[in-house]
Amino acid sequence: MNRNIAIDGPAGAGKSTIARRVAERLGFVYVDTGAMYRAIGIYMLDHGVGKEDKEAVGQALEEISIELRYVDGQQQVLLNGVLLGDRLRSEEAGMAASDFAPLPMVREKLLKLQQDLAAKMDVVMDGRDIGTKVLPDAACKIYLTASSRERAQRRFLELKEKGQTADLDQIEQDIKARDEQDMNREVSPLRQAEDAVLVDTSRMGIEEVTERILEIAANGS
């Protein structure tokens, strides 16, 4: 029986933190699809491929192999056999992912990988088009969101904890730019699936959101 859980939402809504916790509680595998787009973005950056040069993008996609590995329940991403570390989570990688994600050939490459994973095991999969496109028959669909200010504030605190300096207004602007790009592209734009349950996490803590999603997964609402 299909027990897969799809979690979609804008950048910084807390999808990965929550999806990881929900997966742990249910004994499912957490699949972070954003990391796959980030890996492609990193490759394109490092090889100087521009998103307008379709031929170069096509060529690069043929050269790219993405592999997911699970170590102690954590997803690791290997790009052509090389483990991607902290750079995967950088703003640079996030924006490059968002730049290349609208291209149909990029999405096609990852769609199959994502659907194959979900067919093999019970997953909590997060991204932008999981409920609408990748797993339209998921047993449970969640649309996780929060205000752009709140999302920027969380990111700001995260950077501060790592000892990095950051500008809150700049972070909010970057978040809005990414929302704009992800929601307004032609192919698989970010939107709430008709049968997804909306969870606004602006005033909720991590534990509370996790419990809410487990409740939705168990009862359907």
- Collapsing DSSP to helix, strand or coil, 183 comes out as helix
By CB under 6 A, tell whether 131 contacts ligand DC: no
Q: Name the segment binding ligand DC (CB under 6 A); options: 31-39, 60-68, 157-165, 202-210.
A: 31-39
Binding-site string for ligand DC from residue 179 to residue 208, where x marks contact by CB under 6 A and - marks none: ---x--------------------------
Cβ proximity to ligand DC: between 97 and 217 the closer is: 97
CB within 8 Å of 118: residues ≥ 6 apart = 4, 31, 125, 134, 135, 138
Please, which residue, 92 or 167, has the CB nearer to ligand DC?
Answer: 92
Residue 182: closest CA among 113, 115, 112, 100:
100
Q: Which of 38, 141, 151, 212 binds ligand DC (CB under 6 A)?
A: 38
| CA-based nearest residue to 117, from 162, 73, 68, 66 | 68
Q: Which amino acid is at 9?
A: G
Residue whose C-alpha is closest to residue 12's, from 165, 178, 125: 178
Q: Which stretch binds ligand DC (CB under 6 A): 34-42, 61-69, 163-171, 200-208?
A: 34-42
The whole-angstrom separation of Cα 145 and Cα 156 is 17
Q: How far is the CB of 181 from ligand DC (least distance, A)?
A: 7
Number of residues lying near ligand DC (CB under 6 A): 15
Residue with smaller CB distance to ligand DC, 178 or 212? 178
Q: Which two tokens stand for residue 9?
A: 């939402």
- Side by side, which strands form the sheet with 74-79? 66-71, 74-79, 82-83
Q: What angle do CA 14, 113, 194 make, to 5 degrees?
A: 50
Contact window for ligand DC (CB under 6 A) among 18-26, 45-53, 57-65, 95-103: 95-103
CB of 193 to ligand DC, least distance (A): 13
Q: Considering the complex, state which of residue 64 and residue 221 has its C-beta at the smaller distance from ligand DC.
A: 64
- Angstrom distance (rounded) from CA 171 to CA 155: 8
Considering the complex, state which of residue 98 and residue 210 has its C-beta at the smaller distance from ligand DC.
Answer: 98
The residues binding ligand DC (CB under 6 A) are: 11, 33-34, 37-38, 94, 97-98, 101, 127-130, 178, 182
